Structure 1
């Protein structure tokens, strides 16, 4: 039979997604680099910010899931 129809595949995926949201229970938006021309000085300003730990953990979980899904 089809695992999706029996719920096995979907249940494991849903459990994975739920566990990922426990690590990252917020919107996953991040600007690594932001730059603009300052309106008064005309000088270009650039800011860098590392990815937050919770987002990095979520990315690692998705990569791990995707890698093992292929096996």
Structure 2
């Protein structure tokens, strides 16, 4: 089970926060593919294909440029927690947004401001 909340909307792309009840391999990627919203630049689940706005050359070039800035799928675990299988201790980790994702978000925001 994956719960998600929209944090910010961009043209043909949305930044979401996900909370998982389970932790299956590729869970977020598979669930978003299933509902027709693949992760940005996720080659395995066809998120590296420009599906919307393909008739707009300026937009198409913009997305290709962002693919270069973020040459991997746009997925980051800001927080991660689990119970250690041996010690049974609660484990909790935090990680800031990676620089490549920050740069991609900045480009999307700038693109929207320019219209």
TM over 0.5: yes
Give 1 or 2: higher helix fraction.
1
- Find the aligned partners of 1:36 and 1:67 in 2 and give their Cα distance: 40
Give 1 or 2: higher strand fraction.
2
Query: Could you state the TM-score of these two structures normalised by the residue count of structure 2?
Result: 0.49
- Find the aligned partners of 1:12 and 1:39 in 2 and give their Cα distance: 50
Unaligned runs of 5+ in 1: 1-8
What aligned pairs does 1:7-22 form with structure 2 within 5 A after superposition?
10-22=56-68
Runs of 4+ in 1 over 4 A off after TM superposition: none
What aligned pairs does 1:1-71 form with structure 2 within 5 A after superposition?
10-69=56-115
- Find the aligned partners of 2:106 and 2:58 in 1 and give their Cα distance: 18
Offset of 1:57 from its aligned partner?
0.1
Higher relative contact order (CA 8 A, sep 6+): 1
Query: Could you state the TM-score of these two structures normalised by the residue count of structure 1?
Result: 0.76
- Find the aligned partners of 1:38 and 1:65 in 2 and give their Cα distance: 43
Rg bigger for which structure?
A: 1
- Find the aligned partners of 1:42 and 1:24 in 2 and give their Cα distance: 37
